[in-house]
Structures are given as structure tokens and as C-alpha cells.
A = this chain, B = another copy of it.
């Protein structure tokens, strides 16, 4: 692993290489200064890395301006044809390309992609059972070979949350799921990369008391998670995130770190956030 602060000089990947996948979303995307700071921190993270981003509130804002009504079912957005257009424009266009340009200005060689590019992430349109979520894709496969080739070229993939079905249809896909799928794919089989997955969200980490930012659980393994869950000490909204994290750990991801995007250097060094490991 290259530990210098120069982002552009990286050795070719070896079996022992560290690969860090950082997922950012929510309010940091909407706030120019916050985003700028996060991208600066990201640009100097040591080693090979991949950025996965959501779209913040911009898609909702453009939908309002374009007078495209948004339907929410159980807190989830329905992606009709017009909403998919907006998601593609905002996530793959506006957000992705401005991030790429900002990272380039910080000395990183960034390659902005969606799951459609080079068949990176193939997804299946979610089946209609009780609810029709429209053009929403559930990840089926990730082309690790593409990511590794780009990393070996010295490029940092910046992945927008749009996938495709291989038949020409773009699909809106959750950025957390994409980050998780990438981390798992780079960890499985005989690969020996040391994969770290960092989920950035609005809180300082997994909190024992959701009202208290100082109650971060610093380390968690499956046993601790299960006992805290049994004691109802974990906020219900965090449980799916944590279950996904433990699933990633289960297939070989080295560690999952959860915390604030603004704390990225501290999340990496272990002085902030919640660190989820096998152990």
C-alpha cells in the first residue's frame, strides 16, 4: 500500500494490495463546501480506491422544477420513466462529472462511470409484487476485471448509482447496495485484496443513543451486534445497514467503517466512526 500523500503515483495492484471503497451521499452532496472538503480528504487517502456516490436532494429538486410528480411508497421513491431520466441526468451527469473534475483538480485521475459503462454492474429490474417501484435495479453482477484494470491504469473509479440490465435499459440503483456489491466482488474467490468499505452518512457512527453523537460504538463484531440487537440498543433504521455490513464481512471484506463523510481521515485511521470486523 502506498502511504504517501501523492494521489497519482500508485504501484500496480498485487494480491496484497489495499483497496478502499468510500460511499458518500446525502447532505454532503448538497453542500458545496462540505463536498469540496470530503473530495480533498478522499484524494489523499493512501492506496487504490473507489468512490461511490448518491445524489442527495438534487434529483428531487430537479423533479420539482421539471414538474415531474414524485411518488413515494414506504419511504422509497418510485422511478417512473421521467424520474429515471432525471436520475440519469443528475447522478451520472451533474453530480458525477463535477466530482470527477474536482478530483482531477486535486491531482487524482478519476474515471466517472455508471454500471452501464463497460458492463460494470448488471442489474435486474425489481419484480412487481405488491409494489411497482418502476425502473429500479437490483444488482446481479459486478465486473471486478474492469475495476482492477482501471485501478492498474492509475485511475480512480467514481461510480454513479445507475446500472443497466444488459438489454439497453438503465436502472436506478441504491448507492449503498452498489458500494456493498463492489466490496464483496473484490473480496470473494481467491482474491487477497485487503478491502475496506467506508459508509459515510449523517451520524458520527453507530450510536448507542441516537440522540447523542458521543455514544458511538467504536468497534463491533457479529456477536456484539447480535447481543445489542437483542437488547434493542440499536436504532431500527441502522439494522439493515449493519446486516449488509456483516454480510460483506462474511464473504471476505476486511473491514466496514461507518461514520461521517467529514471525518474521512479519522475513519481511515481508526480515531472516529464504527469499525466492523470479523473479530
Contact = CB atoms under 8 A, between A and B. Distances in A.
Most buried by B among A67, A89, A90: A89
Nearest to A122: B104
A104 B91 contact: no
| Identical chains in the assembly | 2
Contacts of A65: 65-67
B94 A85 contact: yes
Contacts of A91: 93
Q: Is the interface of A mostly helix, strand, loop or mixed?
A: helix
A50 to B, nearest CB: 14
A260 B129 CA distance: 46
Interface stretch (A108-116, A249-257, A269-277): A108-116
B104 A116 contact: yes
Contact of A89 (B67, B93, B169): B93
17 contacts: A65-B66, A92-B92, A92-B93, A92-B96, A93-B94, A97-B162, A100-B116, A100-B117, A102-B168, A104-B166, A105-B167, A109-B118, A109-B119, A111-B118, A112-B114, A112-B116, A112-B117
Interface of A: 62, 65-67, 85, 88-94, 96-98, 100-102, 104-105, 109-114, 116-119, 149, 153, 155, 162, 164, 166-170
